[in-house]
């Protein structure tokens, strides 16, 4: 029988699992642990005779604990996190064969208002695109390509030169769930990619001759060591570009560039279904959040440029 003394052991094992297997941050893991210990302490105080872990993690106890949480009037986001922590812990115990069944699979998360994604104003985008003289050719190409296509960071770092059809002006992307989509690319982006690639091949050939280094030249973008660019590396590049151009580094990221691409397209009249295909969303509801963003963007632009407002 597993008693409350052993429960502490499994909580620590769960935290190790989240650190080593899930690669979560220490702060996130501490939040998980705090949420689980809160329930454990609640049970020990409220139900002194419940010492079996299978009793502690029963549907009956969870129902009472859920009422307790609601009575404390936590914010929906806090409540959702606490339930998520408990669900993850129970799933871990199931996988470890400590529990034979999941006693809380019936739990429903509180509905949360979806966060409106952040975007960049057109003048900031123009600053990033029109100041290429301050940036390397690779970094200029990265900015141009993300804003031209709205691709995800994970998609950009996996682009191969053969994914680009210069004759048809398209880019082939293998997105989430290995779903393929074809994205059109405008001439400005294509010309910059072509210029960048020719420069890369020239530099690559020089390095091969002088240092006998062989890079993976299937991939479009590499880091300075000739290795595959990582998502962290891409994040650093975008932050460094922001710093060089005097922009707020906290307001610019690959994902914010993607959001900006989507918002600006909607603002210019692209149908929502077309945008869904470009972004690679499997569900239209994911794309529809940009309709709210587009409305905000229009209001912002109106406030800035309308002569009657100013």
- pLDDT value for 214: 60
CATH of the domain at 164: 1.10.443.10
Residue 49 is encoded by which pair of tokens?
């005779």
Q: How far is CA 257 from the centre of its chain?
A: 12
From 34, 75, 160, 176, active-site residue:
176
* pLDDT surpassing 70 at residue 216: no
The answer to whether residue 106 is domain-embedded is no
d(Cα 126, Cα 132) in Å, to the nearest integer?
11
> Do residues 125 and 260 lie in contact, with contact meaning Cβ atoms separated by under 8 Å?
yes
d(Cα 88, Cα 95) in Å, to the nearest integer?
11
Q: Which residues contact 101 (CB under 8 A, 6 or more apart)?
A: 94
The answer to whether residue 310 is domain-embedded is no
The answer to whether residue 44 is domain-embedded is yes
CATH of the domain at 24: 1.10.150
- Please say if 281 is a catalytic residue: yes
User: pTM above the 0.85 mark?
Assistant: no
Q: Identify the helix (H) or strand (E) that includes residue 184.
A: strand 180-184
From 258, 259, 264, 297, active-site residue:
258
| Positive/negative CA dihedral, 142, 148, 152, 156 | negative
Residues 60 and 176 in one domain: no
Query: What domain count does the chain have?
Result: 2
Residue 15 is encoded by which pair of tokens?
């935290």
- pLDDT value for 55: 67
Three-state DSSP at 165 gives strand
Three-state DSSP at 174 gives strand
CA angle 195, 198, 199 (to 5 degrees): 85
d(Cα 241, Cα 135) in Å, to the nearest integer?
7
Residues 249 and 130 in one domain: yes
From 32, 65, 290, 297, active-site residue:
290
> Do residues 36 and 42 lie in contact, with contact meaning Cβ atoms separated by under 8 Å?
no
Confidence of residue 40 (pLDDT cuts 50, 70, 90): confident
Residues 150 and 299 in one domain: yes
- Please say if 258 is a catalytic residue: yes
Residues 177 and 46 in one domain: no
Residues 148 and 250 in one domain: yes
Cβ-based burial of 197 (10 A; exposed 0-12, middle 13-18, buried ≥19): middle
Percent share of the chain, pLDDT over 70: 81
What's the pLDDT tens digit per position in 220-252? 998 888 788 988 889 889 988 888 888 887 788
> Do residues 137 and 199 lie in contact, with contact meaning Cβ atoms separated by under 8 Å?
yes
- Please say if 239 is a catalytic residue: no
From 33, 59, 138, 255, active-site residue:
255
The answer to whether residue 81 is domain-embedded is yes
Residues 284 and 150 in one domain: yes
Range of the domain at 39: 4-95
The answer to whether residue 91 is domain-embedded is yes
Residues 89 and 140 in one domain: no
From 65, 82, 152, 196, active-site residue:
152
From 33, 59, 228, 281, active-site residue:
281
Residues 137 and 273 in one domain: yes
- Please say if 308 is a catalytic residue: no
User: 275 or 204: which carries more pLDDT confidence?
Assistant: 275
Residues 186 and 291 in one domain: yes
* pLDDT surpassing 50 at residue 308: no
Give me the residues paired with residue 171 across strands.
Answer: 164, 183
What's the pLDDT tens digit per position in 72-106? 888 878 888 898 898 889 888 888 888 777 777 76
Residues 213 and 285 in one domain: yes
Name the average pLDDT for the chain. Answer: 82
Q: How many CA atoms lie within 13 A of 131 on its CB side?
A: 14
Residues 290 and 248 in one domain: yes
Give me the residues paired with residue 164 across strands.
Answer: 171
Residues 87 and 138 in one domain: no
60, 95, 130 - which closes a domain: 95
């Amino acid at each position: 029988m597993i008693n409350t003394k052993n429960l502490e052991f499994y909580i620590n094992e769960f935290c190790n699992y989240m650190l080593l297997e899930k690669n979560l941050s220490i702060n996130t893991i501490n939040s998980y642990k705090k949420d689980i210990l809160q329930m454990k302490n609640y049970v020990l105080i409220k139900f002194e005779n419940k010492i079996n872990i299978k009793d502690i993690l029963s549907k009956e106890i969870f129902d009472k604990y859920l009422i307790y949480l609601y009575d404390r009037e936590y914010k929906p986001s806090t409540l959702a996190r606490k339930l998520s922590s408990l669900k993850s812990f129970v799933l871990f115990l199931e996988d470890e064969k400590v529990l034979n069944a999941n006693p809380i699979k019936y739990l429903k998360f509180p509905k949360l208002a979806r966060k409106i994604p952040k975007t960049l104003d057109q003048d900031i985008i123009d600053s990033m695109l029109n100041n290429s003289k301050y940036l390397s050719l690779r970094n200029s190409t990265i900015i141009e390509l993300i804003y031209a296509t709205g691709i995800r960071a994970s998609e950009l770092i996996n682009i191969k030169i053969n994914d680009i059809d210069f004759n048809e002006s398209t880019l082939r992307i293998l997105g989430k769930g290995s779903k393929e989509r074809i994205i059109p690319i405008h001439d400005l982006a294509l010309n910059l990619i072509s210029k960048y690639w020719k420069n890369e091949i020239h530099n690559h050939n020089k390095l091969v001759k002088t240092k006998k280094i062989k890079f993976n030249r299937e991939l479009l973008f590499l880091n300075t060591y000739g290795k595959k660019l990582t998502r962290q590396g891409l994040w650093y590049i975008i932050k460094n570009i922001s710093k060089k151009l005097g922009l707020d580094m906290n307001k610019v990221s690959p994902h914010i560039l993607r959001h900006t691409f989507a918002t600006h397209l909607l603002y210019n009249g692209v149908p929502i279904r077309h945008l869904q295909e470009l972004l690679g969303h499997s569900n239209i509801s994911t794309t529809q959040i940009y309709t709210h963003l587009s409305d905000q963007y229009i209001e912002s632009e109106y406030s800035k440029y309308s002569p009657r407002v100013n």
